[in-house]
Amino acid sequence: MKIAVILPEIEPFSPIRGGAIARWVAEVYPYLTEFDFEILAPPNPQEYLGLPIKHLVAYEVAKPLQRMLLSKLYGRLKHIYPLEAAIRGRFGGYGIFHIHNRPLYVLFVRALNAQARIVLHMHNDHLLGLQEDRLTQVIKSTNAIVACSQYLVQGILERAPKAASKVHVVYNGVNIEEFVPSWMRKEANNFPLYGEHPTVLFVGRLIKEKGVHQLVKAMKRVIQVIPQAQLVVVGSSWFGSDRETPYIQELREASLEIKKHIHFTGYVPHKEIPKYYAYADVFVCPSVWQEPFPLVILEAMACGIPIIASDRGGIPEAIGNAGLLINPEDTEQLADAIIQVLESPTLADNLGRKARKRVEELFTWRKIAQDFQSVLEEL
- DSSP notation for 187-236: S----GGG-SS-EEEEES--SGGG-HHHHHHHHHHHHHHSTT-EEEEEB-
243 and 271 assigned to the same domain: yes
Query: How are strands ordered across the β-sheet holding 167-169?
Result: 53-55, 36-41, 2-6, 96-100, 117-122, 144-147, 167-169
CB-CB contact of 239 with 268 (8 Å): no
Across the range 209-216, mean pLDDT stands at 98
pLDDT at 186: 62
The one-character DSSP state at 17 is: T
pLDDT at 182: 86
Say yes or no to pLDDT of 192 above 60.
no
Across the range 284-304, mean pLDDT stands at 97
Say yes or no to pLDDT of 193 above 70.
no
Say yes or no to pLDDT of 275 above 70.
yes
CB-CB contact of 173 with 367 (8 Å): yes
77 and 159 assigned to the same domain: yes
d(CA 308, CA 151): 19
CB-CB contact of 312 with 152 (8 Å): no
pTM: 0.93
256 and 160 assigned to the same domain: no
Confidence at 187, pLDDT banded by 50, 70, 90: low
pLDDT at 188: 55
d(CA 338, CA 326): 10
pLDDT at 191: 53
Confidence at 365, pLDDT banded by 50, 70, 90: very high
Q: Give the residue numbers spanning the domain of 50.
A: 2-173+364-378
The one-character DSSP state at 125 is: S
Within 10 A of 186 (CB to CB), how many other CB atoms are there? 5
221 and 119 assigned to the same domain: no
Confidence at 196, pLDDT banded by 50, 70, 90: confident
Distances in whole angstroms, Cα of residue 78 to Cα of each of 22, 71, 105, 131, 258? 19, 11, 11, 19, 44
261 and 199 assigned to the same domain: yes
Across the range 109-117, mean pLDDT stands at 97
289 and 216 assigned to the same domain: yes
354 and 371 assigned to the same domain: no
pLDDT at 70: 56
The bridge status of strand 53-55 relative to strand 117-122 is unpaired
CB-CB contact of 156 with 167 (8 Å): yes
Confidence at 34, pLDDT banded by 50, 70, 90: very high
Across the range 82-102, mean pLDDT stands at 96
Closest Cα to residue 97, out of 72, 121, 127?
121
pLDDT at 87: 96
The bridge status of strand 117-122 relative to strand 144-147 is parallel
CB-CB contact of 254 with 267 (8 Å): no
Amino acid at 229: A
For the chain, the domain total comes to: 2
pLDDT at 259: 93
**Mean pLDDT computed over every residue of the chain:** 93
134 and 66 assigned to the same domain: yes
CATH number of domain containing 209: 3.40.50.2000
Closest Cα to residue 201, out of 111, 306, 130?
306
Give percent of the chain above pLDDT 70: 94
d(CA 315, CA 220): 25
Across the range 60-87, mean pLDDT stands at 76
Distances in whole angstroms, Cα of residue 162 to Cα of each of 136, 139, 158, 376? 10, 9, 10, 21
Say yes or no to pLDDT of 109 above 90.
yes
159 and 258 assigned to the same domain: no
Say yes or no to pLDDT of 184 above 90.
no
CB-CB contact of 43 with 133 (8 Å): no
76 and 223 assigned to the same domain: no
126 and 208 assigned to the same domain: no
197 and 219 assigned to the same domain: yes
Say yes or no to pLDDT of 73 above 90.
no
Degrees to nearest 5, angle at CA 123 with 208 and 203: 45
pLDDT at 368: 98
The one-character DSSP state at 60 is: H
